Amino acid sequence: MSRFRRWLISYVVALVVFTLVDGVWIGLVASGVYRAELGSLLAASFQPVAAIVFYLGYVAGLVHFGVQPLAGDVPLGRRVLAGALFGLFTYGTWGLTALTVLNGFSAFVAVTDIAWGTALGALVTWLSTLLLRRFGVLRANPV
């Protein structure tokens, strides 16, 4: 399989996993927390273009730094750690910047988002890597 095809399949798998996992999080936890904590800071309506652009870009970074489909000998634990760190740094950048520059932005939301981004990066990397290994796109390596 070509490197491009392996990366593209990894991207699609991670995008599906990310969308499902983050969708559950938003539906069960985040939307209620955001409404309660941010109230008037929330947009009047959902902005799908911004969400789509974020998802497409974020997942590309997560595949590159976490799943690492072009690196053959990276153990699963190291991939998951890299995915967690990617989530920590990206969600941390958003949360801490918002806390710094927005009046009324909640510290609770910032901390919650950073924790979620870290967990999400790890979870999506782990699930995606396991699925990709199961279907022979990635080689299984020692943990």
Residue 140 lies in a domain: no
For the chain, the average pLDDT equals: 93
Residue 26 lies in a domain: yes
Whether 26 has a pLDDT exceeding 60, the answer reads yes
C-alpha gyration radius of the chain: 16
What the block records as the tokens of 139 is 């080689």
- C-alpha angle 81-121-114 in degrees, rounded to nearest 5: 100
Reported confidence tier of residue 43, pLDDT bands at 50, 70, 90: confident
Residue 41 lies in a domain: yes
Please list, residue by residue across 8-42, b when 16 or more beta carbons sit within 10 angstroms of its beta carbon and e when fewer do: ebbbebbbebbeeebeeeeeeebeebbeebbeeee
pLDDT digits (tens, 9 = 90+) for 57-67: 999 999 999 99
Whether 23 has a pLDDT exceeding 90, the answer reads yes
Residue 139 lies in a domain: no
The total number of structural domains that make up the chain:
1
Residue 141 lies in a domain: no
Which segments of 3-106 does DSSP mark as H helices, in order? 3-25, 31-38, 48-62, 76-101
Whether 130 has a pLDDT exceeding 90, the answer reads yes
Residue 128 CA to its chain's centroid (Å) = 11
Residue 14 lies in a domain: yes
Can you give the residue range of the structural domain that contains 31? Answer: 3-134
Whether 141 has a pLDDT exceeding 80, the answer reads no
The pTM (predicted TM-score) of the whole model is 0.92
Residue 123 lies in a domain: yes
**Cα–Cα dist 56/62, whole Å:** 10
Whether 140 has a pLDDT exceeding 90, the answer reads no
Residue 142 lies in a domain: no
